[in-house]
Amino acid sequence: MKTAVIVFPGSNCDRDMAVAFEAAGCDVEMVWHKDTALPQGIDMVGVPGGFSFGDYLRCGAIAANSPICRAVVAHAEAGGYVLGVCNGFQVLAETGLLPGALLRNAGIKYICRTVGLRVEGESVYTQGYKAGEEIALPIAHHDGNYFADAATLDTLEAENRVAFRYTDNPNGSARDIAGILSPNRRVLGMMPHPERAADAAHGNTDGARLFAHLTGVLQGA
C-alpha cells in the first residue's frame, strides 16, 4: 500500500505517522503543502497532527487552503482513503470533507494525556477492533471539542459514522465524539493519536491495530 503523509509548516506528528504506516508495511512518501498533486499510485493520505501555520486564524484553516489540500479533497472525492489525526482532523473539517468543527476545549486548557475510547462506527479503520471495545490512546490538543448542530449529530448517529467515542469526555465534545467518518466511510478524522500508541516502546500498542488492519485490507483489495 502506498501512503502520502502531508507536511505543513508546524506539523510535528508527520514522522510519527509515517513510522506507524511503515511499521504496518506501507510505502510512505512525505508530501510538502505547496505541492499541487499527490504522487502517482497513492492509496491512502495521512494528514498529521501538530500546529499547522501556528494555529493562526482557526486551527487547520490556513492548511486547508494549501495547494496540496485541493489534491487531497480530489483524492477523497474519487473514493480514496484519508486519515486525519488531531490537527489533521481540524484540517479535514475545514476542507468540508468532514462535518462540524473543533472548538476550544471546554476547560480552556491544553490537554496531554491518555484517554479511554470506545470503538463504534464500522469502517476499515475500526475493523481491527471489536465493536464496543474500549481502548486507550493519547490526546494532545487545545481545540479538540467537537461541535456540530443537532441535525448533523443525529445524521452521524443514524448512519453509524461515529468511529470513536470518549469514555470520559476530556474536552466537552458533543456526544463524547472523538472521531467521525465520511458518508462513504473512507475518510476518518480523530483527535486521539493512534500513531503515538503503535510501538511497544510507547507502553501501549492500541493504535497499531488501526494501521495494521488498514494496511492489510487495502493491500488485499
CB 4 within 8 A of CB 38: yes
Q: For residue 221, what pLDDT is reported?
A: 57
Cell 490537554, located at residue: 111
pTM: 0.96
Task: Map out the domains of the chain with their CATH numbers.
Answer: 2-220 (3.40.50.880)
Residues belonging to the active site: 86, 193, 195
SS (H, E, C) 141-171: ECCCEEECCHHHHHHHHHCCCEEEEECCCCC
Q: For residue 33, what pLDDT is reported?
A: 98
Instruction: Mention every residue, 6+ apart, whose C-beta is less than 8 A from residue 145.
Output: 102, 103, 104, 105, 106, 171, 172, 173
Planar angle of CA 32, 35, 38, nearest 5 degrees: 90
Report helix angle 87-95 to 67-77, nearest 10. Answer: 80
Q: For residue 13, what pLDDT is reported?
A: 97
Q: For residue 219, what pLDDT is reported?
A: 76
Q: For residue 56, what pLDDT is reported?
A: 87
Planar angle of CA 37, 21, 110, nearest 5 degrees: 90
pLDDT tens digit at each of 221 positions of the chain: 999 999 999 999 999 999 999 999 999 999 999 999 999 999 999 999 999 999 988 999 999 999 999 999 999 999 999 999 999 999 999 999 999 999 999 999 999 999 999 999 999 999 999 999 999 999 999 999 999 999 999 999 999 999 999 999 999 999 999 999 999 999 999 999 999 999 999 899 999 999 999 988 787 65
